Structure 1
Amino acid sequence: MAAPRLALSVLVLMLAVIALTEGLRGAGPRKCCFNFNNKPVDKERVSGYIKTSQRCSNSAILLKTVAGRQLCVRPSAQWVKELITYLDNKAAQGESSTL
């Protein structure tokens, strides 16, 4: 009689642990990049950027264009680094001018 109760208790405990760990992992990254745009994009055509999740297999920057498109680019490319610096400075200037 004690053996089935113990087995049931262990099973319930295992299911609780699995449910907890799956919940902590979250749903996963929203967007990962597998194909990359290698051509430089004009800075006036870009409205912003985000970095992809660290859980993605490829490190990438997701550019948001003024036309509403999203482009995956490599963060190691020199033109991407310059574009990010430009966008960061543009955002910082915009924040300070509203004070």
Structure 2
Amino acid sequence: MAPPRLALSVLVVMVAAIALAEGLRGTGPKKCCFRFNESPVARERVVGYTKTSQRCSNPAILLNTVAGRQLCVRASAPWVKELITKLETAPGKSSTM
């Protein structure tokens, strides 16, 4: 009687451990934007940028400022596109993802 119960218990513990490990893996995007800064940001205040994951519901750009903050801006905004172009053509090109 004991061996089948022991085998079943071990199986349940293994399934629980696998389920926990899969849940902690973090399969979703690390950062998505839901509120956006609509006003233009001066080039001098921005040191770099990062595109949000394609799995985010809103395509966005995270601007990294000289103050160490990140601002969410709409990737489709004309001023954002212009800022990205300036960042990419600047000497000492900013890193992007």
- The reply to whether TM is greater than 0.5 is yes
Task: Describe the SS at the equivalent of 1:25.
Answer: coil
How far apart, CA to CA, are the structure 1 residues paired with 2:23 and 2:55?
A: 15
AA matched with 2:48: G
Closer, same or farther in 2 for the Cα pair 1:23/1:68, shift >3 Å?
closer
1:70 equivalent in structure 2: 70
Any stretches of 5+ residues in structure 2 without a counterpart?
A: none
What does 1:15-94 correspond to in 2, within 5 Å?
A: 15-25=16-26, 29=30, 31-90=31-90, 93-94=91-92
Answer 1 or 2: higher relative contact order, Cα 8 Å, separation at least 6: 2
How far apart, CA to CA, are the structure 2 residues paired with 1:27 and 1:74?
A: 20
Any stretches of 5+ residues in structure 1 without a counterpart?
A: none
Aligned length: 92
Task: Describe the SS at the equivalent of 1:39.
Answer: coil
Structure with bigger helix share is 1
Offset, 1:85: 1.5
Offset, 1:80: 0.9
Task: Describe the SS at the equivalent of 1:44.
Answer: helix
| TM-score, normalised by the number of residues in structure 1 | 0.70
Q: Deviations over 1:58-81 (max 9, x none)?
A: 322111223443321011112211
| TM-score, normalised by the number of residues in structure 2 | 0.71
% identical equivalent positions? 53
